[in-house]
Structure 1
C-alpha cells in the first residue's frame, strides 16, 4: 500500500470525512485504498480511497470550497498552474496509529509495504 503525506489540518479533515478533495499540482493515476500520513509525524493515521483525479477550472475550484475546505476568500486564483482534485472517499481512522520508517527523499508518497515497522 502507498501512503500519502498530508499536512495538518488537512489530514484531520480528510479522516473526519469533511474534506473529499485533496488539491494537488499534479494528476495521479492511483486508485483505491491508500494510507494517510501526517507530514513530519512518522505515523500512518488511517486510510482513504482515491476514486478520481480531475483537473479543475477556477470556477470549479471556487465552487468546490465545501469539498476541499479552502476558505472562499482564498480561492480567487488557482493554487497551481494546473490544479487537480484528488477525489477521496470512505476514510477510516485507525484506533491505534501505525509508526513507519520514513524513507529519505519521500515527499508525496511512501511505499508502506517497505516502510512499516512491523515487529
Structure 2
C-alpha cells in the first residue's frame, strides 16, 4: 500500500513537466512525518481556468493517480523563504495561507515519475492510502 496526495489541476500535471518547468515545491497548511514515495492524485475539484491560461496548461485529467514522486523534506515557509522558492511552485502571488494566518509548509519533491496511463481513484483530504490492487503492475508503466 502506498500513500497519495491530491493536488488540483493544473498543478498536479506540472509536477511532472520537463525539468525547466517542473513544479518541485508543493504548499500545504499542514505537514507529515512521511518521507519517500508518494503518489500524486489529480483532484476532481474544479480546475482554475485562469491558472491554466497563465501556465499554458490544457484541460488535464482529474480523479486519477497520474504518477509518483519522492517527498524528500518539508519545511516551514517564512515570507522570505517563500519569495526565494515561489518560482519552484510556479506561483506569482503572496505566500499561500498568509491571509488566513495559517502556517505554510513547503513540501519538496524529487524524481517525478509520470504514469503512462492514469489510474482512476477517489481522492481524499490529507495523505490517503491506495491499495496495491489499484496500482496493478500493468497500470504502473512509466510514460515513454
TM-score between both structures, scaled by the size of structure 2: 0.70
Aligned counterpart, 1:30: 34
1:58 aligns with one of 79, 93, 98? 79
**How many residues end up aligned between the 2 structures?**
112
SS at match of 1:59: helix
Aligned counterpart, 1:89: 110
Tell me how far 1:42 sits from its aligned partner: 2.8
Answering whether residue 6 of structure 2 is matched by residue 10 of structure 1, we say: no
Query: Unaligned stretches of 5+ in structure 2?
Result: 45-61, 137-144
Tell me how far 1:12 sits from its aligned partner: 1.1
Separation in 1 of the partners of 2:105 and 2:7?
15
Separation in 2 of the partners of 1:111 and 1:92?
18
- Change beyond 3 A, Cα 1:43–1:29: same
1:69 aligns with one of 73, 90, 113? 90
Structure 1 stretches of 4+ moved >6 Å: none
- Change beyond 3 A, Cα 1:97–1:66: same
Tell me how far 1:13 sits from its aligned partner: 1.1
TM-score between both structures, scaled by the size of structure 1: 0.83
